[in-house]
Amino acid sequence: MQAQALLAEGVAALRAAGIDGATRDARWLLAYALDLPPERLTLALQEPVTAPQLAAFRDAIAARAQHKPVAQITGQRLFWGRSFRVTQDVLDPRPETETLIEAALDLPFARLLDLGTGSGAILLTLLAERSEATGTGVDLSAAALDVALHNARSLGVAQRADLRRSDWYSAVTGRFDLIVSNPPYIAAPAHASLAPDTRLWEPRMALVPAACDGTGLAAYRMITAKACDFLTPQGWLMVEIGLGQGPEVAALMTGAGMRAPRILPDMTGRGRVVAAQAP
């Protein structure tokens, strides 16, 4: 069978399953099945596929038709130009989180703490960008920490990354120049209305704070309340936020004794990050 015909079959199957972006996803999954960089797929479309490639593609399409995210099928996500392993145990790193990376790289830091590190996307990117920095990444999920450790090794920063299981600060010691976090911020009732890719396949604990108070702010309350105990003087706390949460998160930071919180926009102009400085 020719790759072009196989691609058409995959697109049709994804459309029938109601997947948005069926052509884009089928092309991506065909490149994965053929073990090609996606940009080289067009050249290969006139070639015949082997039986194992055919089987790999059909398996991938069947998984995508069940709304499994492409990154979980291929096991990889490109974030800030680097490849991260992604499994069902971690949040698939989002492009909007690169707003936090960009803002953090404007700050001076040598010691970094990432609360809720997941795949390690934030911590490991910042360590890779700052070759003299060291960092601690914590998560409540042991399975997520296994993924982060794999990524730390593959990115060559494992020697500078201390990954540990912790309920926010519970197993953290010392002080840091920068604390970063992209915590769960979806209110529990809103989980049911998330897109199936997220709702069915991403870990609920990465999306909804455990002690949910109905607003999705529970994790921010925990993180801001103790931030000054773990920051060096004039150190920074920087968190990613959900839609419209900026003013409330900024107020939590002020209430915790931090100075002049700023709400920073993402590439669509929406408030995406809140940053404030310790006294």
Q: How far is CA 199 from the centre of its chain?
A: 15
Q: Give the separation between CA 77 and CA 71, rounded to whole angstroms.
A: 6
User: What's at 253, amino acid-wise?
Assistant: M
245 touching ligand SAM, by CB under 6 A: no
Taking CB under 6 A as the criterion, the residue among 99, 117, 125, 151 binding ligand SAM is 117
Interface region with ligand SAM, contact rule CB under 6 A, candidates 33-41, 181-189, 259-267, 268-276:
181-189
Taking CB under 6 A as the criterion, the residue among 60, 101, 121, 256 binding ligand SAM is 121
Toward ligand SAM, which CB reaches closer, 1 or 143? 143
Q: Give the separation between CA 9 and CA 3, rounded to whole angstroms.
A: 10
Restricted to residues 198-217, the positions that interact with ligand SAM (CB under 6 A) are: 205-206, 210
Q: What's the token pair of residue 57?
A: 């593609």
Taking CB under 6 A as the criterion, the residue among 103, 128, 138, 275 binding ligand SAM is 138
Toward ligand SAM, which CB reaches closer, 91 or 152? 91
118 touching ligand SAM, by CB under 6 A: yes
C-beta separation of 181 from 209 below 8 A: no
DSSP 127-145: HHH-TT-EEEEEES-HHHH
98 touching ligand SAM, by CB under 6 A: no
C-beta separation of 186 from 218 below 8 A: no
102 touching ligand SAM, by CB under 6 A: no
C-beta separation of 162 from 136 below 8 A: yes
6 touching ligand SAM, by CB under 6 A: no
Taking CB under 6 A as the criterion, the residue among 10, 184, 242, 271 binding ligand SAM is 184
Interface region with ligand SAM, contact rule CB under 6 A, candidates 15-23, 65-73, 111-119, 270-278:
111-119
User: Phi/psi of residue 231, each to 5°?
Assistant: -105, 145
Reference 132, options 100, 177, 87; nearest CA is 177
Task: Enumerate binding residues for ligand SAM (CB under 6 A).
Answer: 90-91, 93, 97, 116-119, 121-122, 138-141, 144, 166-168, 182-184, 205-206, 210
